[in-house]
Amino acid sequence: MPEAHPVLARHLQAGGRDGVDGTRALTLHELRGWHLCQISAFAGTDDALRLHSRALGAPELPRDSRRVAAEGDARVCRLGAGRYLWTAPADAVMQRVARELDPAAGSLTPLSAARVRFMVEGPAAAQFLQRGIALDLHPAVFAVGHFAQTGLHHVPVLLERRGEARYELQVPTTWAVSVWEWLTDAALPFGYDIGVDTAPGL
């Protein structure tokens, strides 16, 4: 199989930078080694989709549009009525659902190549993200496990709080370089390290 070409490959070589005080208070990592798809119901088939996809081994589809549902290594966000974004380290189950899902109940669209995922981590992560994201990231409002579809640098992104000082961004692939350039520029005063995470379960 031809080798995958990560769109940030060239940009990650630039390395990190020291901040104003000479330290590096943030880490900006690209996550690799995962699969992503959208699983969708049609009008009135949400329950059927839940049953069928579950029977085929898909994770439980959440009803909450604010919290990520985690099941094993799989993570599912409810993007809207009948629309779910499903991330997993392997795509065997996704492929099975794509093949065998009752076409009257719903559909599955592979999107693994359509998004780039970043992890932003560090005590100043929220303060850093607030340079560009117009969402209240206070833990009482945006707790660990919460996600939101929002905008960063004019680009639609999906933001998830993965830990107290850890956030994940999903960015459309074709915008990823511009968002990365924005992130590294905004991170400059804080200082940052960059890297790639390929650990399963990310």
Partner 1 sequence: MSRRPHRAPAGGRIDRSRIVTFTLEGRPLAGVAGDTLASALLANGISLVGRSFKYHRPRGFLGAGVEEPNGLFTVGRGARATPNLPGTLVELHEGLAASRQNGTPSVGFDLMAVNDLLSPLLGAGFYYKTFMGPLRGSWMFYERFIRRAAGLGVAPSGPDPDRYETRHAFADVLVVGAGPAGLAAARAAGEAGARVVLVEQDTLAGGGLLALSPEQPLERWREDALRALADLPEVQVLTRTTALGLYDGNTVALLGRSAHGEPDAAHGEAREWITTLRARAIVFATGAIERPLVFADNDRPGVMLASAAQAYRNRWAVSLGERVVLGTNNDSGWMTAAELARGGAELTLIEQRAAVTPALRAMAEEAGVRVHTGGLITRAIGSRAVRAAQFSTGSGRDVTLPCDLLCMSGGWSCSVHLGSHTGIKPVYRADIDSMVPGSLPEGQFAAGAANGTFSLAGAVREGVAAGQAAARHTGFGGARVQADAELPDTPYTVQPAVLPPPRRGKAFADFQSDVSTHDVQIAHEEGFVAVEHLKRYTALGMATDQGKTSNLNGMALMAAMRGQSPGGTTTFRPPWVPMSIGALAGRSTGQHFRPARRSPLHDWHVANGAVFTEAGPWLRPWYYRWAGDSPESAYLAEMHLVRETVGISDISSLGKIELHGPDVGEFLDRVYVNVFSSLAVGKARYGVMLNDDATVLDDGTCARLADTRWFLTTTTAQAGEVMSHLEFLLQTAWTDLRVQAVSVTDQYAGMSVAGPHSRKALELALPGHDVSDAALPHMGCLEITHEGVALKVLRLSFSGELAFEVYAPADRGIAVWEHILRAAAPLGIRPYGLEALASLRIEKGHVAGSMELDHRNTLDDLGLGRMASTRKAFIGQELRQRPGLQAPQRWSLVGLECLDPDKTLRGGAILFAAGDEIAGHGRGHITSVTWSVVLGKTIALGLYRGGLAHAGEEIICAYPLKGEQVRARIVSPVFIDPEGERLHA
Side chain identity at residue 42, one-letter code:
F
CB of 99: closest distance to partner 1 in angstroms? 11
Burial profile 167-190: b = 16 or more Cβ within 10 angstroms, e = fewer: bbbbbeeebbeebbebbbebbebb
Which structure tokens are listed for 146?
């919460």
| Listed ranges 68-76, 117-125, 176-184, 194-202: which one lies at the site for partner 1 (CB under 8 A) | 176-184
| Gap between the Cα atoms of 163 and 40, Å rounded | 28
If DSSP codes are grouped into helix, strand and coil, which group holds residue 72?
coil
Q: Does 104 sit near partner 1 (CB under 8 A)?
A: yes
Bridge partners (DSSP) of residue 156 are: 151
Among positions 113-132, residues that touch partner 1 (CB under 8 A) are 113-115, 130-132
Query: Could you give the string, one character per residue 5-44, with x where binding to partner 1 holds by CB under 8 A and - elsewhere?
Result: xxx-xx------xxxx-----------------x-xxxx-
The residue among 83 and 96 lying less far from partner 1, judged by its C-beta, is 83
- Among residues 144, 155, 193, 197, the one that binds partner 1 under rule CB under 8 A: 155
Contact 168, 160 (CB under 8 A): yes
Bridge partners (DSSP) of residue 150 are: 157
Q: Does 148 sit near partner 1 (CB under 8 A)?
A: no
CB of 177: closest distance to partner 1 in angstroms? 5
- Among residues 64, 71, 164, 181, the one that binds partner 1 under rule CB under 8 A: 181
Q: Tell me the H-state helices in 13-77.
A: 46-55
Which structure tokens are listed for 179?
């968002």
> Which residues contact partner 1 (rule: CB under 8 A)?
1-7, 9-10, 17-20, 38, 40-43, 45, 82-83, 103-104, 106-107, 109-115, 130-136, 138, 140-141, 153-155, 172-175, 177-179, 181-182, 185-190
